[in-house]
Structure 1
Amino acid sequence: MITVLVISIIVILIVLALSVLTIGKGYSYKHTVDPIDPLPESKEKNKEPEK
């Protein structure tokens, strides 16, 4: 009975350690954002007013 308890605690500690490492690696990841392309100007703005 004690061996099952010890093995269970060891497995729980390993899973906890792996979870903490994975979360830490996720927080240390540097996220980047692509620059926004300028909106194309409207075709009407490019037209010269008719006289």
Structure 2
Amino acid sequence: MKTVFIICIIIVIIVLLLSLLTTRKAYQYKHTVDPIKKPVNNQETQEKEQEKPTQNQ
């Protein structure tokens, strides 16, 4: 019974250490944001403007 208890404690400690290491590494990760693409030609701009609802009421 004593050996089973010791093995369980060791497993709990290993899982705790692995979760702490994983969380620490996740917080160190640097996220980046892709830049917004601008329309290439005037036709794309006109199409987007036509999709917008007008508020002249």
Q: What's the secondary structure of 1:17's corresponding residue?
A: helix
Please give the root-mean-square deviation of Cα atoms over the aligned residues, in Å. Answer: 1.4
Please list the CA deviations of residues 1-51 of structure 1 after superposition, one character each: whole Å capped at 9, or x if unmatched.
1111011000000000000100111111000000011244216xxxxxxxx
Whether 1:42 and 2:12 are equivalent positions in the alignment is no
Q: Which residue of 2 aligns with 1:47?
A: none
Q: Distance in 2 between matches of 1:8 and 1:41?
A: 64
Runs (4 or more) in structure 1 with deviation over 6 Å come to: none
Unmatched segments (≥5 aa) in structure 2: 48-57
Q: Classify the secondary structure of the residue corresponding to 1:42.
A: helix
Q: Which structure features the higher share of helix residues?
A: 2
Fraction of identical pairs, as percent? 53
